[in-house]
Amino acid sequence: MEQKNSNQEEFKYHYKYPHPSVTTDCVIFSFDGTKLKVLLVERGIEPYKGRWAFPGGFMRMDESAEEGALRELKEETGLEGAYIKQFGTFTNPNRDPRERVITIAYYALVKLQEVRGDDDAADARWFSLDEVPSLAFDHDMILRTALMELRKQIHFEPVGFELLPEKFTIKELQNLYEAILDVNFDRRNFYNKMKRFEILEQLEERVMPTPKKEAFLFRFNINKYNELKQKGFRLEL
């Protein structure tokens, strides 16, 4: 009788109907000074062996979605310490040929760094957005959704600290915004709008971006930058 009760307790919370597995995927953006980059891995196993996709994989039973995403990102690319932000859940019943799989998607902005393919990934590489091949699963849709989220975010909180070097020119900051939004800005108008938010500190140092022209270097006022990230703002460019 005691054994029977033990078995009943063990299976008390088991759901008898079929239910989906859960994966995570990470869309990692970076910037090379001119173009926005995205991190992809070449799949080393089926399905879609040899195709490019986002770093990701199945969640373990003892981890949260965020923990699983960071673990897979490290295992497949060697990248650690990214501040990831959840932006969507993708649930098409036919999105994965193996079984019914729901994926939770995250994105992050990181400085450009060396990556390496490992674990299930045969390779890991940064791609410019205009060089991204057709992706495995529904990752083309996930990329489009991540870009829309990033372009929406850039109007309500500052972007740049995560992607630019510590010291940068206004032109480099403008290049970043143009790469994300896929538009061109008037240089003076862009600078005046950024200046109004008081997140930039002009340094005494100068560089020569062209042989005939000097440019001041700037850095972010971290306190003001973080304050605006918390409070938010409305950027009209």
Domain boundaries, the chain: 21-138, 170-231
**Listed residue (120, 168, 5) closest to 160, CA to CA:** 168
Rounded CA separation 231/227 (Å): 6
The CATH label, of 3.40.140.10, 3.30.1540.10, 2.30.30.90, 1.10.10.10, for the domain at 170-231 is 1.10.10.10
Residues 6+ apart with CB under 8 A from 215: 169, 170, 171, 206, 207, 208, 209
pLDDT of residue 230: 84
pLDDT of residue 74: 96
Question: Quick one: DSSP state of residue 52?
Answer: E
Per-block mean pLDDT, blocks of 10 residues, the chain (237 long): 53 74 97 96 96 97 96 96 95 96 97 93 96 98 97 87 92 94 91 89 84 82 87 74
pLDDT of residue 8: 56
Cβ(29)–Cβ(107) below 8 Å: yes
pLDDT of residue 17: 83
Phi, psi of 103 (to 5 degrees): -120, 140
Please state the length of the chain: 237
E strand residue ranges, 85-181:
85-90, 101-109, 121-128
pLDDT of residue 212: 61
Residues 6+ apart with CB under 8 A from 82: 26, 28, 70, 73, 108, 110
Show contacts of 217-221: CB within 8 Å, 24+ apart.
217/167, 217/168, 217/169, 218/167, 218/168, 218/169, 218/170, 218/173, 219/166, 219/167, 219/168, 220/158, 220/160, 220/161
Cβ(141)–Cβ(61) below 8 Å: no
Cβ(39)–Cβ(30) below 8 Å: yes
pLDDT of residue 210: 62
Cβ(138)–Cβ(174) below 8 Å: no
Maximum separation of any 2 CA atoms in the chain, in Å: 91
The CATH label, of 3.90.79.10, 3.40.1640.10, 3.40.140.10, 3.60.21.10, for the domain at 21-138 is 3.90.79.10
**Residue whose token pair is 């979605």:** 65
* Cα angle 81, 82, 88; round to 5: 145
